[in-house]
Structure 1
Amino acid sequence: MDCNLGTVTGSAARWYKQVPGGVPQFVLVWYHGWSSVTYGSGFSSPRFTSTHQSTSDYRLMINNVEEGDSAVYYCQTWDGNTVVFGLGTKLIVTSSSLPPPVLTVFPPSRAELQSNKATLVCLSRLSAPFAEVS
């Protein structure tokens, strides 16, 4: 996952992991001038690493991803006294053996159809957690 700090070049890049409905967890912090990464509780090398391409371009890498790594990962830095977060990168890790979801479409009611409206409800069951629905 990449993070571009824009014009901010004198600040470290921090990474946070957030699962839906959960609080953000601090993953790691790294600055291009440091000799090593500082990790949050439960995160360590070599599974979680960070590199930089320039003084403002950082990358979070997760090796041997697991389903438990599924989350939105946010990059954060400081611009002077202002904390700045990226928009986040959604990571979804699924097992290749997952069955397809079971979809059920519920039709509109007769009363709704008589009012020239039609609302369909689609229920997805047995789907991978955190999956996109469109």
Structure 2
Amino acid sequence: MFGNGVRPQIWEQFTSRFKMPVIAEFYGSTEGIANIMNMDGKPGACGFVSVIVRHALPVYLVKVDQETGEPLRDKNGLCIMCKPGEPGEFVGMIRKNDPMRDFHGYADKKATQKKVIQDVWKKGDAAFKSGE
């Protein structure tokens, strides 16, 4: 099966009931600049991005406060990357004037501000927040 995914809470029951040995799922949004796929069929996984393709697909999981959803920051005020298995929010780096990686935002400036994290890996850079 290939689609938008199955909640981790029902994954095992669903795959057993419908006899689906492999589920591949993806995340993406119409206005978003980042997408990812879980091709391994691992419940709860968000996918895998090789460090070799970071330039072509600059997506990351950043640590967030579980209560507020705000990104956690290090002593320099930059985001903290999740380690494998850690929960976080999926973000895609914004690259100005890049047809695939630039985020122009919404008509509502406040809605745009809610979807963008500033100073992710270095001062002045920005990322699109997936909300996931």
Same structural fold, with TM-score higher than 0.5 when normalized by the shorter chain: no
Question: Larger relative contact order (C-alpha < 8 A, sep ≥ 6)?
Answer: 1
Write 1 or 2 for the structure with the bigger share of strand.
1
Write 1 or 2 for the structure with the bigger share of helix.
2
Normalising by the residue count of structure 2, what TM-score does the alignment of the two structures yield?
A: 0.26
